[in-house]
Amino acid sequence: MARQLNVSRASVWQAMRFLEEAGVSVFRVPGRGYRLRESLQWIEREKILAALGEKAELFELDLVDSIASTNSLLLQKAAQGAAHGSCVVTEMQTAGRGRRGREWHANLGGSLTFSLLWRFNQGAGFLSGLSLAVGVALMRGLKHAGVSGAGLKWPNDVLYQNRKLAGILIEVQGDMLGPSAAVIGIGLNLKLSEQVLNRIDQAAVDVRSINGKMPDRNVLLAQLLLHLADVLKEFEDEGFSRLRMEWLAHHAFHEKPVRLILPDGSQHEGNFLDVAEDGALLVHTAAGRKRFTSGEVSLRGTA
Ligand code: ATP
């Protein structure tokens, strides 16, 4: 390899270490060489466009080999006037973000990490239930891809048997009266290496361990984008209310005991009651029925 690429053996060794750090499993025989344990499927524009079919015109795809955060790049592009439907997809996200500065870890070739820009005539206040609506789109997309049994956790996670399969990060630009723009970031685990799993400080799961096989990344991305476009259209027309029953049907903690952790560290325990038409969470606590709206509230199951 060193001879073919005209680099030193140390450079090859370093590149292999980098691959393993990024979650790619490498088979090595000292003194002989290296081999990938499994072939990698790259993200490819033509394949995504083919799977989008005639709806490809709804999206403006920007494929980036490596980027710190697809949301950060798309937020910049949005501020510079990027079109509705712009989508940044990356092969390797190196500093993915969750809420409140938390990290999102991705696996080279084993994750889908992308962000979609959606512009709304309504103001930012209208978007309060948007992360729940996006959860509904992910449920539809996963079902379409043959992944069943996943559920939603208010306000922004996809779980499978209490382990996190996907995360949603929505960042909004614009003012309360409108128009506004949402950058919708999605991170979905397809096949995580032990190395990447060990970096995640909560239980995580990937599609391959649920389904026994790795989905086609390009087709899955296209399916998710199509379901997102459908759901976002419904949301634009009627807000979260039209999607509420579908969200509740997928809720992982329905009528179960939950704990809410507020930004100041205070906690409330109670039973999950409902989600309101604006996406707010309704919980029955010892102090009566309480309503939580802030996207900064974290929910945990206590059963
Ligand atoms: P909340 O209930 O407030 O959403 P959260 O812990 O799920 O809490 P998020 O901001 O939604 O927080 O997501 C970031 C968190 O997700 C990280 O702190 C980490 O625990 C977890 N995480 C990071 N990467 C992955 C991944 N690839 N798969 C599953 N979980 C991950």
C-alpha of residue 176 to centroid of ligand 1, in Å: 28
Farthest CA pair distance, the chain: 72
Same domain? 208 vs 136: yes
User: Which atom of ligand 1 is least distant from the CA of 206?
Assistant: 28
Give the C-alpha separation, 109 to 128, whole Å.
33
Chain centroid to Cα 201, Å, comes to: 17
Same domain? 225 vs 156: yes
| CATH code, domain with 278 | 2.30.30.100
Residue partners of 120: CB distance under 8 A and separation at least 6: 126, 127, 174, 178, 179, 180, 181, 182, 236
Same domain? 142 vs 28: no
**Ramachandran angles phi, psi of 8, nearest 5°:** -80, 165
* Full-model pTM: 0.95
Residue 198's Cβ-count burial label (10 Å; 0-12, 13-18, 19+) is exposed
Same domain? 11 vs 50: no
Same domain? 153 vs 25: no
Same domain? 245 vs 263: no
**Taking a C-beta distance cutoff of 8 angstroms, is the pair 53, 4 a contact?**
no
205, 224, 227, 204: which is closest to 216 by C-alpha?
Answer: 224
Give the C-alpha separation, 68 to 90, whole Å.
9
- Which domain does 229 fall in, by range? 45-249
Chain centroid to Cα 263, Å, comes to: 22
Same domain? 50 vs 26: no
**pLDDT by 10s per residue, the chain, length 303:** 899 999 999 999 999 999 999 999 999 998 888 999 999 999 999 999 999 999 999 999 999 999 999 999 999 999 999 999 999 999 999 999 998 889 999 999 999 999 999 999 999 989 999 999 999 999 999 999 999 999 999 999 999 999 999 999 999 999 888 899 999 999 999 999 999 999 999 999 999 999 999 999 999 999 999 999 999 999 999 999 999 999 999 999 988 899 999 988 899 999 999 999 999 999 999 889 999 987 778 998 887
Pocket of ligand 1 (CB under 6 A): 98-99, 102-105, 156-157, 164, 167, 187, 189, 200-202, 204, 298-299
Same domain? 103 vs 151: yes
Give the C-alpha separation, 171 to 116, whole Å.
11
Same domain? 64 vs 94: yes
Same domain? 226 vs 165: yes
For 223-248, how does the pLDDT look when each residue is reduced to its tens digit (9 = 90+)?
999 999 999 999 999 999 999 999 99
Same domain? 8 vs 152: no
Same domain? 167 vs 233: yes
